[in-house]
Structure 1
Amino acid sequence: MLKNDVFEQLKQAMRNKDTLTKGVLTLLKSQLDLAEKEKGDALTEVEESQIVNREIKQTQQALDGAKQANREDLIAQEEAKLVLLQSFLPEQLSVEDVKQLLVEAGVTSGMPMGEAMKIAKPLLAGKTDGKTMSAVVKEVIQA
């Protein structure tokens, strides 16, 4: 379970006095705890992946802002956070694998984007990020 992995790594980061890792893991653990409390039950792998993806997206936005501001110190910090967060995701599918899964699931050329995404989202949840999913769906329906 992801929450246990996060907690174990958090304890190790505390022992190592690694403040960056400790901060990221504390935030991630609190988000997982909050979601579990709101649900009133243990989270599924897909729900855990969605939380990690949300944190990755926020970190990516912070990284983009740091790049625009030319803040080298923040860029390095945000990139380190990104690598740490991505380590908690299951292995991400390649573009070719995503395309193959979509075609097998019935996404065809000329299909409306909304219908294709209704098929793609549950199929690819946690296996790829939303940006890649959207781009590959567009590619398949326009082929």
Structure 2
Amino acid sequence: MLKTTVFEQLKKAMREKDTLSKGVLTLLKSALDLAEKEKGAALSTEEETAIVNREIKQTNQALEGAQKAQRDDLIKQEEAKLVLLKSFLPKQLSEDEIIALLTEAGVTKGMNMGEAMKIAKPLLAGKTDGGTMSKVVKSLI
């Protein structure tokens, strides 16, 4: 379960006085706890992965803002956060692997984007980010 892994790493970061990791892990643990409380039951692996992906997306947005402002200190901090958050995701598929999976699942040329994404989303949930998924689907249809 992801929540216990996050909690163990949080304790380790606190012992080592690693403030960056402690902050990221605290946010992630809070998001997981809140989602679990709202659901009223333990989260599935897909739901946990979705929460990690949401945190990664927010960190990417913060990174873009730091890059536009040319703040090197913030850029390094956000990149370190991304590395830590991505360590909680399952192995991400390459574009070639995604193409092979989607072709096998029946995504073909001439299909509309909505139909193709209905096939792709459940198939690739947690295995790739939405931007890559969308780009590969567009290239196939």
Q: TM range, normalised to the smaller chain?
A: over 0.9
- Which residue is 2:61 aligned to? 61
CA–CA separation in structure 1 for the residues paired with 2:36 and 2:105: 31
Q: Secondary structure at the match of 1:93?
A: coil
1:92-121 C-alpha deviation (Å, 9 max, x unpaired): 001011011101111111000000000100
Alignment of 1:20-35 (within 5 A): 20-35=20-35
Question: Which SS does the other structure have where 1:134 is aligned?
Answer: helix
After superposition, residues 39-118 of structure 1 pair within 5 angstroms as: 39-118=39-118
Task: State the TM-score, normalized to the length of structure 1.
Answer: 0.97
Unaligned runs of 5+ in 2: none
Unaligned runs of 5+ in 1: none
- Quote the Cα distance in structure 1 between the aligned partners of 2:13 and 2:111: 48
Per-residue deviation, 1:75:
0.5
Q: Deviation at 1:133?
A: 0.2
Aligned length: 141
Moved over 6 A (4+): none
SS of the equivalent of 1:83 reads helix
Aligned-residue offset at 1:74: 0.4
Give CA deviations for 1:52-91 in whole Å, capped at 9, x if unaligned.
0000000000001001101011001000000000000000
Task: Among all aligned residue pairs of Structure 1 and Structure 2, give the percentage whose two residues are the same amino acid.
Answer: 76
Correspondence for 1:6: 6
State the distance in 2 between where 1:93 and 1:107 align: 17
Counterpart code for 2:22:
K
Shift of residue 25 of structure 1?
0.1
Q: Residue in 1 aligned with 2:18?
A: 18
- Partner Cα distance (2:7, 2:80) in 1: 19
- The CA distance in 1 between the partners of 2:44 and 2:93, in whole Å, is 19
- Aligned partner letter, 2:26: T
CA distance in 2, matches of 1:80, 1:130: 21
